[in-house]
C-alpha cells in the first residue's frame, strides 16, 4: 500500500491511497492484483493511471506480474470524496459581477506561453473550429510557435481538421506530450485520448471542468508564442471553466451573416465582458461566396453583418472570411494547413498587433518568456 501512496490521481493531483481509490490488493507467488476505483466512468486517463499503479508495484522486490483493474465510485462515495477535498480547495475572489474565478477554482499559470487566446462563438455552426485552425496555420506560417487546445469535449474536430492522429505520451518529466501537425503546430484534443474517437463524451459539468483544466495544465506545451483554445458553442460549463481557469490574454469572437447567429454570439460577447476577459475582435465567417465562373459575389447567408455587429458590440472588426469549396475538401483531408488567402493573413496581422498590446498591458513591463516576434 505504501508504494501506491506515491501514485497521484491525474485529475485531482492527490494520492490514490489518500483518496480511498485503492479497493483491493492481493498477491500470490509474486503475482499482484490491484483494483482501483475511478472517480468517473470512461475516464480518458484511466490507462495512464493503471500504468502508474503497475510501475509503482513493479518496484517491489520479487514481483513477477501485476494486474490492475478498475471500477467506478458510487454517487455516495463521490459525495464523500467531495466533502474530503472541500477544506483543501483554494478559494478565489470573484469579480464585481460574481462571475470571476469563483470559490474553489484556481487560475492556472502560463509557464512558457506568451499569449493564450480563446476562440468563441456562442452559436454552433459558424465555423469556429475552422477559424481556429486557419489562424493557427497562418501564425505558424509566419514563423511563430503555436499550439491548439480543443476545449470542445463533446464535439471535438480540431485533430481531424489539422490532420493529427495517434496517442499522446508522457514525457520524462511526467507531462503529456501533445501531437504535432505536419508544420509543427502542437495539438491536444480529447479525441486523441479516447480509445475510440467516436465514443460520446457524456459527462456532467464538474467532470468537463476537470478534464479541460487537465488538458491544459498536464500537457507539456513547451515554449509557445500563441496557444489558441477552441471553445464549444454556448455559455455554460466549458467556456466558464476556460474563462475562470486559464490565464487568457483575450478572446476572438466568430460570427456568420445570419441574424440568429448574431443574436446568440452577442451572448458570448456579454459573457466575456462580465468575466473581464479582453475581446480582441470579431471575425465573420462565410461572409460571401465568390463565384468561380463569373466572379460575382453571392451572399449565400444574407448580407454580411460582421462589421455592423462588431460596431454595435463595441468590438474591433478583424475581417470577413468568404466561403470557399476548397476549405471543406482540405478539412476533410486534414490538410487545412495548406490553405491560405490574403484575408486570413490580414486578420492574423491585426490579431498579432492587438494580442501584443494586450500582453504588454497585462505584464506591465515585467520580464516574460517570449518576445512577440519569432
Confidence at residue 367, expressed as pLDDT on a 0 to 100 scale:
34
pLDDT tens sequence across 278-336? 999 999 888 888 777 787 888 777 788 888 988 999 998 988 888 888 888 888 888 98
Domain ranges of the chain: 3-87, 113-363
Confidence at residue 11, expressed as pLDDT on a 0 to 100 scale:
62
Confidence at residue 136, expressed as pLDDT on a 0 to 100 scale:
92
Average pLDDT over residues 163-177: 86
Residue 51 contacts by C-beta under 8 Å, 6 or more apart in sequence?
none
Q: Are 115 and 359 in contact (CB under 8 A)?
A: yes
What percent of the chain has pLDDT above 70?
A: 85
pLDDT at residue 102 tops 70:
no
Q: How far is CA 288 from the centre of its chain?
A: 29
Cell of 352: 498579432
Q: Are 336 and 162 in contact (CB under 8 A)?
A: yes
Q: Which CATH class is domain 113-363?
A: alpha beta
Burial zone of 296 (CB within 10 Å; 0-12 exposed, 13-18 middle, 19+ buried): exposed
The whole-angstrom separation of Cα 192 and Cα 109 is: 24
pLDDT tens sequence across 26-43? 999 989 999 999 877 666
pLDDT tens sequence across 116-165? 999 988 777 788 888 899 899 988 988 889 999 999 888 888 999 999 99
Among candidates 249, 246, 150, which has minimal Cα distance to 190? 150
Q: Are 68 and 54 in contact (CB under 8 A)?
A: yes
pLDDT-based confidence at 23, cuts 50/70/90?
A: very high
CB atoms within 10 A of CB 46: 19
Cell of 232: 464549444
Query: Dmax over Cα atoms in the chain, in whole Å?
Result: 80
Q: Do domains 3-87 and 113-363 have the same CATH topology?
A: no
CATH fold of the domain at 3-87 = GMP Synthetase; Chain A, domain 3 (3.30.300)
Contacts of 97-106 with C-beta under 8 Å, sequence gap 24+, read 97/274, 97/275, 99/240, 99/271, 99/274, 99/275, 100/244, 100/275, 100/276, 101/244, 101/245, 102/244, 105/241, 105/244, 105/245, 106/245
Q: pTM here? A: 0.69
Amino acid at each position: 500500500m505504501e508504494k501506491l501512496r506515491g501514485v497521484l490521481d491525474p485529475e485531482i493531483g492527490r494520492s490514490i491511497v489518500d483518496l480511498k481509490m485503492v479497493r483491493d490488493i492481493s498477491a500470490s507467488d509474486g503475482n499482484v492484483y490491484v483494483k482501483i476505483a475511478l472517480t468517473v466512468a470512461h475516464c480518458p486517463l484511466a490507462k495512464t493511471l493503471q500504468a502508474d499503479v503497475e510501475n509503482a508495484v513493479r518496484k517491489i522486490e520479487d514481483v513477477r506480474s501485476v494486474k490492475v483493474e478498475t471500477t467506478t465510485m458510487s454517487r455516495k462515495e463521490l459525495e464523500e470524496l467531495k466533502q474530503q477535498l472541500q477544506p483543501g480547495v483554494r478559494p478565489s475572489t470573484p469579480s464585481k459581477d460574481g462571475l470571476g474565478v469563483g470559490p474553489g477554482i484556481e487560475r492556472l499559470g502560463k509557464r512558457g506561453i506568451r499569449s493564450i487566446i480563446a476562440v468563441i462563438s456562442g452559436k454552433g455552426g459558424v465555423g469556429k473550429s475552422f477559424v481556429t485552425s486557419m489562424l493557427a496555420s497562418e501564425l505558424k506560417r509566419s514563423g511563430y510557435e503555436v499550439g491548439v487546445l480543443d476545449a470542445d469535449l463533446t464535439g471535438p474536430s480540431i485533430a481531424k481538421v489539422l490532420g493529427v492522429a495517434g496517442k499522446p505520451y508522457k514525457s520524462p518529466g511526467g507531462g503529456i506530450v501533445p501531437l504535432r501537425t505536419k508544420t509543427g503546430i502542437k495539438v491536444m484534443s480529447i479525441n486523441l485520448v479516447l480509445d475510440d474517437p467516436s465514443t460520446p463524451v457524456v459527462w456532467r459539468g464538474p467532470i468537463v471542468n476537470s478534464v479541460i483544466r487537465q488538458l491544459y495544465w498536464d500537457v507539456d506545451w513547451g515554449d509557445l508564442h500563441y496557444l489558441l483554445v477552441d471553445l464549444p458553442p454556448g455559455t455554460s460549463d466549458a467556456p466558464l471553466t476556460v474563462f475562470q481557469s486559464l490565464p487568457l490574454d483575450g478572446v476572438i469572437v466568430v460570427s456568420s451573416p445570419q441574424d440568429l447567429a448574431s443574436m446568440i454570439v452577442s451572448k458570448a460577447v456579454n459573457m466575456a465582458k462580465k468575466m473581464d476577459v479582453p475581446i480582441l475582435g470579431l471575425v465573420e465567417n462565410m461572409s460571401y461566396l465568390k463565384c468561380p465562373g463569373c466572379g460575382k459575389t453571392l451572399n449565400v447567408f444574407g448580407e454580411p453583418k460582421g462589421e455592423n455587429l462588431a460596431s454595435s458590440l463595441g468590438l474591433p472588426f478583424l475581417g470577413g472570411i468568404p466561403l470557399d469549396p476548397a476549405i471543406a475538401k482540405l478539412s476533410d483531408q486534414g490538410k487545412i494547413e495548406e490553405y491560405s488567402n490574403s484575408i486570413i493573413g490580414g486578420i492574423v496581422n491585426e490579431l498579432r498587433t492587438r494580442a501584443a498590446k494586450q500582453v504588454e498591458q497585462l505584464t506591465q513591463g515585467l520580464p516574460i518568456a517570449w518576445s512577440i516576434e519569432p
